[in-house]
Amino acid sequence: MIDTEALTIKKAGEMLREGKFSSQDLALACLDKIKEKNGELNVFLEVFDDALEQAKKADAMIKEGKGGKLAGIPIAVKDNILIEGRITSSASKMLENYRASYNAFVIKKLKDAGAVLIGRTNMDEFAMGSSTENSAYGPVKNPRDPLRVPGGSSGGSAAAVASGMALGALGSDTGGSIRQPASFVGVVGMKPTYGAVSRSGLTAMSSSLDVIGPFAKNSEDAGIIFDCIRGKDELDGTSIDLPKEASPGKSIGVPRELLKEGVDAEVLANFDESMEKLKKSGYSVKDISLPFSKYALAVYYIIMPAEVSTNLSRLDGARYGLRKEGDTVFEMFSKSRSAGFGPETRRRIMLGTYVLSHGYYDAYYNKAWKVRRAIMKEFSEVFNEIDYVATPTAPAPAFKFGERSDPLQMYLSDIFTVSANLAGLPSISLPSGTSSENLPFGILFTAPALRDHSLFEIEKSLKN
């Protein structure tokens, strides 16, 4: 019996190469876990029928000493990342039957390395949400407590890793969608520097913020996935190769003023305890000030919907997506979009259209960009003094279904994560123990641009 809930990617890779088990055995163990739990948790929208065939090929690769550290490792993929020939629905009715005509850059990389793509995971529709309750296919349940949400929008990918249905997963992070669900289910989730991973083949949400990144059980595993999928790609003009990094630093800044209101007392206590642990391991921790970052959420909820409304305009029933006929072209567009999009998607398209409209553009969109630049600047200034900014990942642990039915309350889940997206910085959520109700906590570390690898170094000191 392979215990996929405990097994790391690194260990599995060693065992595969030593011939302790085959990739087919490993894929079967994950498929068994899916059979056992997916009915209840609703993690996968589709389990790929060729998973065992892929594993067989990986076994041959491993025998020949080919493939990378991910050869033969089952990986789950968020349903907004294109896999050639497969449906990529972004958990929307709009794209229920949409089949990808090419592989995303990250998928090509995973396939070349011999990874086994096990299925596509459930998410908030078009990656908009913090709980997966916005999926058109029903919410994902948190494997730690099925009465609670797994976070979002990449809740399915997070839950797949936490429950042993896959050893690693890909998600996308526009405002926290990898890091917040990672913290809600107790795994590691990492958002790379903007551009460090190509967006080619990622269904666009907000193009100046979107980035693909890994979920795994620990930092080392997350680093293995990240190193496989990153790199410059000619199909994404914003993509880059990371330069070689200087050795990671040991000083942490805490923006105390951002933690004063609205943060759960247990979350704060856990955060302070973790900082104490890090101090004991030789880190210095001091308070810093990021005065513009208190506007990060407001800025995010202007820039993001503006880009969403633009990106989703192609889903009109003519070019892509569900089509409902009408007497005029306008009626066809309108009927198709009303039938295809869920309420949150419609809300954001309306917000975005409003902030971009003549007369409001300067007041909202342009002003938000000015503050975004100020946020970028204040981060680059504090990084002259420190190596990481630390906060809790989310203001509270996983909440119950229906508890945040007011959209504004839901948006507050992202209060700590959005700044890294606005400033394009790499950021990681690390598990940091559990609450009195046995719910996982997460701590968020953000590093200077291009210093992604420094984020994988902190976990060992937190564990001590």
Write out the H or E segment, with its range, that includes residue 253.
strand 251-254
Could you tell me the CA-to-CA distances from 336 to 93, 97, 226, 351 in Å, in that order? Answer: 10, 14, 38, 19
Q: Using the rule CB under 6 A, which residue among 51, 58, 128, 299 binds ligand GLN? A: 128
Q: Which of 132, 135, 177, 429 touches ligand GLN (CB under 6 A)? A: 177
Q: For residues 369 and 443, what is the distance between their CA atoms, to the nearest angstrom?
A: 28
How far apart are CB 173 and ligand GLN at their closest, in Å?
5
Active site residues: 78, 153, 177
Nearest to 167 by CA among 244, 233, 222: 222
- What does the chain come to in residues? 464
Rounded Cα distance between 464 and 459, Å, is: 9
In sequence order, the 6+-apart residues with CB closer than 8 A to the CB of 276 are: none
| Secondary structure letter of residue 233 according to DSSP | B
Asked if 173 is part of the footprint of ligand GLN (rule: CB under 6 A), the reply reads: yes
Rounded Cα distance between 257 and 292, Å, is 11
Describe the chain by its helix, strand, coil percentages, rounded to 5: 40, 15, 45
The token duo for 241 is 């190769």
**Minimum CB distance to ligand GLN, residue 159 (Å):** 16
Q: Given candidates 22, 174, 391, 393, which one binds ligand GLN under the rule CB under 6 A?
A: 174
Stretch that binds ligand GLN, among 167-175, 257-265, 288-296, 326-334 (CB under 6 A): 167-175
- Residue from the set 175, 223, 321, 395 that interacts with ligand GLN by CB under 6 A: 175
Nearer to ligand GLN, 176 or 448 (CB): 176
Q: Which of 31, 45, 127, 160 binds ligand GLN (CB under 6 A)?
A: 127
Residue of the chain from 92, 153, 219, 309 that contacts ligand GLN (CB under 6 A): 153
Build a one-symbol-per-residue string for 204-243: x at contacts with ligand GLN by CB under 6 A, - elsewhere.
Answer: -x--------------------------------------
- C-alpha triplet 457, 459, 461: angle, nearest 5°: 90
State which residue, 113 or 258, has the beta carbon closest to ligand GLN: 258
The neighbour count for residue 138, using CB atoms within 10 Å, is: 12
The encoded tokens of residue 94 equal 């709009």
Q: Is 130 in the site for ligand GLN (CB under 6 A)?
A: yes
Contact map string, positions 304 to 333, toward ligand GLN, x by CB under 6 A: x-----------------------------
Total binding residues for ligand GLN by CB under 6 A? 14
Residues that bind ligand GLN (CB under 6 A): 127-130, 153, 172-177, 205, 304, 414
